[in-house]
Structure 1
C-alpha cells in the first residue's frame, strides 16, 4: 500500500484556523502601531514648523504664522527653510489655530505642539551672543565698526545705552511680540550688577538713548517666567555697577515680586494671563 504524503484536509483546516487567529490578534496591534507612528510623525513635523517660526521671529521675521505655514507646505518643495515638505503621513492638512499649527485629523492634535521652543529662548540667546561678541572687542575694533556709539568726548560707551544702541543699529529693530492688550511689544535687555542681563519689554520700537527703561513686563531667566504689572517700573534708576549699588537680576526679580507683579505666560511671542 502506497504511503500518503502531504497534509490532510483536517490538518490544513487547523493550520488555516491558527493563522487566522494569529492574524486577528496581530493586525489590530499593527494598525494601532501604524496610527501611533503617523501621529508622532505629524506632531514632529508641526513642532519643527513652530520651532523654525519662533527662530525666525527672534531674527526679526515680519511674516505671520499663516503665511509661513503656506510657504513651507507648498508643493514642490521650494522654500528656504526645510529640505523637505513637512506634511501629515495620513494626508491630513495643516492650518493655524490659536497661534499653533494643527492637523485636520482631530486625533493627531491630541498631543499638542510643545511650547519648549519659546521665542524668548532665541531672543535671550541672541542678546547673550551679541554682548559676548562686542564686549570682548577692543576699543579700536569697536571704533573700526563705524557705528559704535560715542559720547561728545569721543569715548566709547560700553554701557547699557551703548550696547543697546549698537544692537539696534546692527539688527535694525528690536525682537517683537504681542502684549496682553493685543498691542505690539518689543524685547530689550538691561545689564545687571553681576555681569549678566535682565530681559524686559515695552512698546517703544525705536532706540532711545535715555528714557526707554520703563516696562510692564520683566523676565526671570532662572525660573523662565514672565512677570507683569499694570503700574510697571523704571529700570533706568538701577545701576549696573556694583560700586554704585547696582542690583543683580535676582535682586530685581525679588523687588518686583514684593511689589505685587503677577506671573503671565508667553506663548510663542504672545503674552496671556
Structure 2
C-alpha cells in the first residue's frame, strides 16, 4: 500500500511539473528590444505565471534558428521581412501576428565626440567618418542594417561610405563599437541610443528615407499551453505600452481591453 501511494504521489508530481513546464514561455526577440522587453517581461509575470525566457539576437539569426527547430514559443522581429519569412514556411500562427511597435534610426557618435551632422541629401558622411569606420548591423540581413543602408541609398551617400562600413552581427553590437570608441559613427535605432549613455545622437534619418520600422510579434507553430497567448496579450496592455514608450518605441496597436 505504501509503495502504491508513493507511486501515485510521484505520478502527481510529474503531472504537475509537466503542466507548469507547458506554461513556461520562450521568446526569441530582436536585440534592440532588450531593455524595454526585459521590463515588460517582469511586468507581465502575473499574467503569464512567471517571467518568460527571452533570447535576444538579430531577427535574421533568430528566424533561421526557428526554421531549424529551435524551441521558441514567441517570435518578435525588428522588421516585417523576417516574420514573413517564417509565415511563408508555416512556422508561425498567422492569426496571432500583431504589428506591435515602431522605431526610428539615428546617427550616433561617442558621447565626447565633437562631430556634428545635418542629415540631408548628399551630406558628407564619408568626410565625417574620416579614416574611421561607420558601425552598422549587417546591411544585408539584420533589420537595423537594412534600414540604415536603405536610408543612405535614398540620401545618395551609400556609394561614398560602403567601403567604410564595419558590419556587426546585430544592432547592439554596432552600438557597442561606437560606445567604446572603436567607430566614430554608427547607425542604430533611436531606442538603442537612448539606452547607452556612452553615445549621443548627432542626427536623425528622415522617416521617408527608409521603409517604415515595424516590430511584429507572433506565436510560433510549436508553441504550447496558454502561456504564449497570455504573454502576447500582456504585450498589448496599458502597462506594457507605458514601458515601451519610456524606452522610445511607438506603440502601433490599441491597448487590449481587460
Taking structure 2 as the reference length, the TM-score comes to: 0.30
Larger Rg, first or second structure (1 or 2): 1
**Structure with larger RCO (C-alpha < 8 A, sep 6+):** 2
The structure with the greater share of residues assigned to helix is 2
